[in-house]
């Protein structure tokens, strides 16, 4: 198998064909591997096999090219996992209501794989999770097969580092960490990725790789919380936090700019720190700093609503009587990714306060089904022209393909959470939140 990986002639099974698994499948195929994509969602599988896409920043042409290579197939039949050399697991790791890790998708995937696991196969987990998941939780369900981890089959962890919509850093250009607990498993894992990813970095163990992933995203969550708190402080001092950050960023050492927003979104940053805090509690350790950062970021949508309410009241309008146009539902600019988007929370908070709310998002024509906001599923994007009649425009996501000059000219009031109006003209009053 090592020789097959080194010659890119191996056969890889990728489980979970979402924002991580689909671009990874494309990268493997482009490197010469055969890939079997496995997903429980029959609709996704059918779309892929018809050369269609369901992720906006991954075009249908990329899917068609992958299929035309003859080295890719998508299926819901997990029995096919028994025919591959390596199985890469890219399934979600969400939180339960009490902010506890939900390993359900990982463990259910492991149970399916165990039914067909073959001696000598390599299993790599890419899902973000707490240290110990790979060598305990996942290993235990895989060993139901009767095979022993790192004796009969090989087990490793390699954290995904996808940044959806980032044209500068696609899957193959982001350095890849790989951790395993035996030299053989590590050598196989490095060989699997080294001709697919520009740089593969082996680390001492699966747990070290799991911890590195949580460290990366906890670092971001904590720093974002800091600038969100500074935003609130500086607003009271009548200081623009965006100007402050830009000024501080001129220092060539000792400072790294992070930017405030309406709350955290995406699958990793709002979730990963709580995987770490949960695991720390198992060892009797309090994580006050990390949890405080989580609380600050979680409270940001409430702060935005309060700023909106204050701005409306100055104009003589109550929030309960207002019509609000939200710009952006995706969690970040230029993608259709709705995972953990603060826009969902904002919409619910505004409507709970009695406001009428519409949204415009060129990347999200309709709100998909989500775990925590199922009541919003099916809501449709409206035309941007509603900015002319709305009492306020709330900028939640700063997509590039929105005419902010038009918003500046036509809106009665703008609440800008992303500094999107920085270089625009127009007479509309702008409140940063």
Which secondary-structure segment (H or E) carries 395? strand 392-395
Three-class secondary structure assignment of 237-274: CCCCHHHHHHHHCCCCCCCCCCCCCCCCCCCCCCCHHH
Q: Considering 15, 188, 268, 305, which one is annotated as catalytic?
A: 268
Between CA 369 and CA 371 the distance in angstroms is 7
Residue written as token pair 């969902």: 344
| 367 within 8 A of 378, measured Cβ to Cβ | yes
Beta strand residue intervals within 68-116, DSSP E: 72-75, 86-89
Query: What is the CA 281 to chain-centroid distance, rounded?
Result: 25
| 390 within 8 A of 414, measured Cβ to Cβ | no
| 405 within 8 A of 423, measured Cβ to Cβ | no
Rounded to 5 degrees, φ, ψ at 431 are -115, 125
Beta strand pairing status for 356-360 and 86-89?
Answer: unpaired
In order of 42, 235, 304, 344, the CA distances from 258 in angstroms are 39, 17, 18, 23
Helix ranges (DSSP H) in 251-341:
272-282, 288-314
| 354 within 8 A of 321, measured Cβ to Cβ | yes
Between CA 328 and CA 330 the distance in angstroms is 6
268 assigned to active site = yes
SS3 277: helix
| 68 within 8 A of 106, measured Cβ to Cβ | no
| 341 within 8 A of 329, measured Cβ to Cβ | yes
Which candidate, 348, 227, 353, places its Cα nearest to that of 297? 227
Torsion of CA 225, 228, 230, 231, to 10 degrees: 180
* Residues catalogued as catalytic: 268
């Amino acid at each position: 198998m090592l020789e097959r990986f080194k010659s890119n002639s191996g056969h890889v099974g990728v489980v979970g064909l979402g924002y991580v698994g689909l671009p990874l499948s494309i990268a493997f195929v482009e490197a010469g591997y055969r890939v079997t994509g496995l997903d429980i969602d029959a609709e996704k599988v059918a779309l892929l096999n018809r050369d269609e896409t369901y992720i906006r920043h991954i075009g249908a042409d990329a899917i068609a090219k992958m299929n035309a290579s003859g080295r890719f197939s998508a299926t819901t039949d997990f029995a096919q996992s028994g025919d591959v050399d390596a199985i890469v697991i890219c399934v979600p790791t969400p939180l339960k209501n009490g902010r506890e890790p939900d390993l359900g998708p990982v463990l259910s995937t492991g149970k399916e794989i165990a039914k067909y696991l073959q001696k000598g196969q390599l299993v790599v987990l890419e899902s973000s999770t707490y240290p110990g998941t790979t060598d305990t939780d996942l290993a235990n369900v895989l060993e139901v097969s009767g095979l022993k981890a790192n004796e009969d089959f090989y087990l490793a962890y390699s954290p995904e580092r996808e940044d959806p919509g980032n044209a500068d850093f696609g899957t193959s250009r982001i350095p890849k960490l790989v951790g395993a607990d035996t030299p053989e498993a590590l050598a196989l894992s490095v060989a699997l990725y080294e001709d697919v990813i520009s740089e593969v970095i082996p680390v001492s163990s699966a747990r070290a790789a799991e911890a590195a992933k949580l460290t990366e995203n906890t670092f971001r969550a904590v720093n974002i919380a800091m600038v969100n708190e500074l935003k609130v402080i500086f607003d009271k001092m009548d200081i623009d936090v965006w100007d402050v950050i830009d000024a501080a960023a001129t220092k060539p050492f000792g400072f790294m700019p992070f930017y405030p927003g309406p709350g955290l979104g995406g699958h990793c940053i709002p979730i990963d720190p709580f995987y770490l805090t949960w695991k720390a509690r198992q060892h009797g350790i309090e994580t006050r700093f990390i949890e405080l950062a989580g609380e600050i970021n979680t409270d940001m949508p409430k702060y935005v609503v309060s700023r909106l309410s204050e701005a409306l009241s100055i104009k003589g309008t109550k929030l309960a009587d207002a019509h609000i146009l939200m710009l952006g539902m995706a969690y970040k600019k230029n993608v259709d990714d709705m995972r953990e988007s603060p826009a969902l929370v904002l919409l619910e908070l505004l409507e709970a306060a009695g406001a009428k709310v519409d949204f415009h998002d060129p990347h999200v024509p309709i709100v998909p089904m989500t775990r925590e906001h199922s009541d919003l599923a099916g809501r449709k994007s409206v035309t941007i022209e509603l900015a002319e009649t709305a009492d306020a425009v709330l900028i939640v996501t700063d997509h590039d393909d929105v005419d902010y000059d038009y918003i500046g000219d036509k809106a009665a009031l703008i609440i800008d959470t992303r500094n999107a109006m920085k270089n625009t003209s127009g007479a509309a009053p702008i409140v940063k939140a």
